[in-house]
């Protein structure tokens, strides 16, 4: 997500205050850019109106892919490409293929989903991170409000943040 230049940043300590603050701010027709916190605050995504993540679907699809891959591989290798008499058993039969199928299903599903998550959330080792406040990975929660998106009503916003219990309110510019 491309960050705009100017932000107003409210810093909180208590996660519950943050949730109520977000609600309050939004009722005042002010768009909250994003909330940053050291740990997941429960209820915040509802407050911000985030939809339920679609990652489970991705996981399921990748899982199916794994199952399919595993079964075709095994039946093709053992039954079609190079059949061999092993222990007098049939060349290819389902029961002995179950374990590998299961493992590949889990593996591909897990890797696929995590991959999607990384891409979706734009997480990558070489990413230059821009923080609203250095303490958000310690113990502070931050509500960031994009001035550009709220046609520069900065003072009003600052007060609003103070009211909702922000310990401090700063401006943050990304040059």
Residue 68 Cβ vs other proteins, minimum distance, rounded to whole Å: 16
- Whichever of 97 and 146 has its CB closer to other proteins, that residue is 97
The set of long-range contacts for 150-156, using a CB threshold of 8 Å and a minimum separation of 24, is 150/30, 150/31, 153/30, 154/8, 156/30
Q: Which 3 state secondary structure label does DSSP give 14?
A: coil
Choose between 109 and 150: whose C-beta lies nearer to other proteins: 109
Residue window 84-123: x/- pattern of binding to other proteins, with contact defined by CB under 8 A: xxxxxxx--x--xx-xx-xxx-xx-xxx-xx--xx-xxxx
Any contact of residue 173 with other proteins (CB under 8 A)?
A: no
Tell me which stretch binds other proteins (CB under 8 A): 23-31, 47-55, 146-154, 156-164.
47-55
Total chain residues near other proteins (CB under 8 A): 73
Q: Exposed, middle or buried by CB within 10 Å (0-12, 13-18, 19+), for 19? A: buried
Using the minimum distance from each CB to other proteins, give the nearer residue, 96 or 148: 96
Q: Which of 2, 29, 40, 155 binds other proteins (CB under 8 A)?
A: 40
Phi-psi region of 122 (alpha: psi -120 to 50; beta: other; left: phi over 0): left
Distance CA 126, CA 52 (A): 28
Among 23-31, 53-61, 147-155, 156-164, which window interacts with other proteins (CB under 8 A)?
53-61
Could you tell me if 146 and 4 are in contact, meaning their C-beta atoms sit under 8 angstroms apart?
A: yes
How many CB atoms are closer than 10 A to CB 39? Answer: 9
Of 32 and 160, nearer to other proteins (C-beta) is 32
């Amino acid at each position: 997500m491309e960050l705009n230049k100017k932000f107003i940043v409210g810093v909180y300590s208590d996660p519950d205050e943050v949730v109520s603050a977000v609600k309050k701010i939004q009722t005042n027709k002010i768009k909250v850019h994003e909330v940053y916190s050291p740990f997941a605050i429960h209820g915040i995504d509802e407050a911000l109106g985030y939809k339920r993540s679609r990652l489970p679907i991705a996981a399921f699809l990748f899982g199916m892919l794994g199952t399919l891959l595993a079964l075709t591989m095994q039946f093709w290798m053992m039954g079609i490409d190079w059949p061999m008499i092993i222990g007098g058993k049939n060349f290819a039969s389902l029961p002995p293929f179950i374990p590998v199928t299961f493992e590949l299903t889990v593996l591909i599903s897990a890797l696929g989903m995590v991959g999607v998550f990384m891409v979706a959330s734009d997480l990558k080792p070489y990413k230059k991170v821009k923080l609203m406040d250095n303490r958000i990975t310690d113990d502070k929660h931050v509500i960031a409000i994009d001035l550009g998106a709220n046609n520069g009503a900065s003072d009003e916003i600052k007060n609003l943040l103070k009211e909702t219990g922000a310990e401090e309110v700063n401006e943050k510019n990304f040059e």
